[in-house]
Amino acid sequence: MNESQLQTFMTVAEYKSYSKAAIILNVTQPTVTSRIKTLEENLGCSLFTRIGHDILLTEEGKRFIDYAHNILSYMDYSKEIANAHKDPGIKVGFTPGYSYSFIIELLKTIQSIKNVDIKVIEGHDSVSLNDRVLAGDIDLIFTREIVSNNPDITSEYLFDNNLVCVLPSDHRLCDKPVLCTQDLKNETIISFKRNSVLWSQIDKQLIGAQNITRIDVENNEMLLKAVSNGIGIGIIPELGTDDRYKTNVSIKHITEIDNISNKVYVHYRESSKMKDLAKKIIYAIINHKYSEVY
C-alpha cells in the first residue's frame, strides 16, 4: 500500500469513474486500474463495484475510505515535519520580456528574507510555465495566462503589462505622440521569442506595416541594446523597459498593439512555506511596476 494507490482510490471514489480519475491524476486509465487492483489485493477485498456507467464503493470500500483519508493526512503531516527542518528554497519562473531591474528587484526581495534559496527561471512562454507549476516543477510564476482551476495553486491578477514600442531617441517617429502600424513602413522590427503565442498576436497586427525587415534576438536585453544603438525599433512589454536605456530609447504606444491583452498573473503552490514568501514577492513586483518603469 502506498500514497499513489491511496490517492487513486480517493479520486475514483470522488468521481465514480476510472477515466475521470486518470485525467485528474494525469496518468493513464490502465495505471488507475492497476493501482486499484493492487490495493484490493493487499486488502483482500473489492473496493468498487460497477453500476451502469458509475463506479461505486462496496461496503468494504465505504469502511476503508476513512482510513485512507487519515493515512494520507498523516503522510502530509510527516512531510511538513521533515520539511520544517530543511532550509526553505523556491523556484520562481517568469515569461520572457522583463527587464534586468525587474529581476534584480525580485532577487533583492528574496535576499531580504533570511535562509531562502532561490532559483530564477525564464520560461519560453506562459503556456510552458503554467504546465510546469501544475506539474510541481516550479513554486511561483509570473505569466500572462491564467492557470486552469487547481486546488493546489493560488492564482491572482496583478496588473496589465501593456506592449510598447521602443525607438532610438533620435528616431523620426519620436515626435509622434501615438503610432499606428502604417507608421512602421520600411522599418526594421526587432523582436525576441517570436515563435511565442504573444508574438503571433503581434504579427497579426503588423500586417498593415509594409516592407518591414525582421530581426529576432535572443532576449529582451539584447533587443534594448540593439535599439539604443539605432539598429531598429522593438516591441516589448512595458516591464521590459529599463532606466539604463532611458537617455537612448524613447517609448511609444502603437494603436493596434495596444489592443493586445497582456496581463500579469501570479500563480504559486499552496503551502505554508510559499504563502508568506509569495506575498512579499508580489508586493515587491507591484511596487516595482509603479515606481521603476518609465
87 has a pLDDT exceeding 50: no
pLDDT at 12 over 60: yes
* Residue-level pLDDT at 234: 94
Most confident of 8-22, 110-124, 174-188: 174-188
Distance CA 88, CA 251 (A): 40
Residue of 11 and 126 predicted with greater confidence: 11
State which fold the 3-84 domain adopts.
Answer: Arc Repressor Mutant, subunit A (1.10.10)
Using an 8 Å Cβ cutoff, are 25 and 8 in contact?
A: yes
**pLDDT tier for residue 170 given thresholds of 50, 70 and 90:** very high
pTM of the predicted protein model: 0.60
**How many whole angstroms from its chain centre is CA 252?**
27
Residue 84 is predicted with a pLDDT of 52
Residue 78: what pLDDT?
65
CA-nearest of 285, 243, 30, 36 to 140 is: 285
pLDDT of residue 248: 92
What ranges do the domains of the chain cover?
3-84, 89-161+262-291, 163-258
Domain 163-258 is of which CATH architecture? Answer: 3-Layer(aba) Sandwich (3.40)
**What is the reported pLDDT for 241?**
86
Average pLDDT, rounded, for the chain:
83
Architecture of the CATH domain 89-161+262-291 = 3-Layer(aba) Sandwich (3.40)
Helices in the chain by DSSP H: which ranges? 3-15, 18-25, 29-43, 59-84, 100-112, 126-134, 197-205, 220-228, 255-258, 272-291
pLDDT bin (cut points 50, 70, 90) of residue 255 is very high
- For the residues 164-181, what does the mean pLDDT come to? 94
- 89-94 vs 140-143, strand pairing mode: parallel
Non-local (6+) Cβ contacts of 284 within 8 A are 105, 106, 108, 109
Q: Which of 3-12, 31-40, 88-97, 238-247 is predicted with the least confidence, judged by mean pLDDT? A: 88-97
| Residue 175: burial class (beta carbons within 10 Å; 0-12, 13-18, 19+) | exposed
Q: Is the pLDDT of residue 118 over 80?
A: no
pLDDT tens by residue, 191-241? 987 888 888 899 999 987 889 999 999 888 899 999 999 999 999 988 888
Q: Maximum CA pair distance of the chain?
A: 81
Per-residue model confidence (pLDDT) at position 281? 76
- Using a 10 angstrom Cβ sphere, with 0-12 exposed, 13-18 middle and 19 or more buried, the burial of residue 221 is middle
Residue 293 has pLDDT above 50, yes or no: no
**Is the fold of 3-84 the same as that of 163-258?**
no
- Residue predicted with more confidence, 75 or 121: 121
> Percent of the chain having pLDDT more than 90?
22
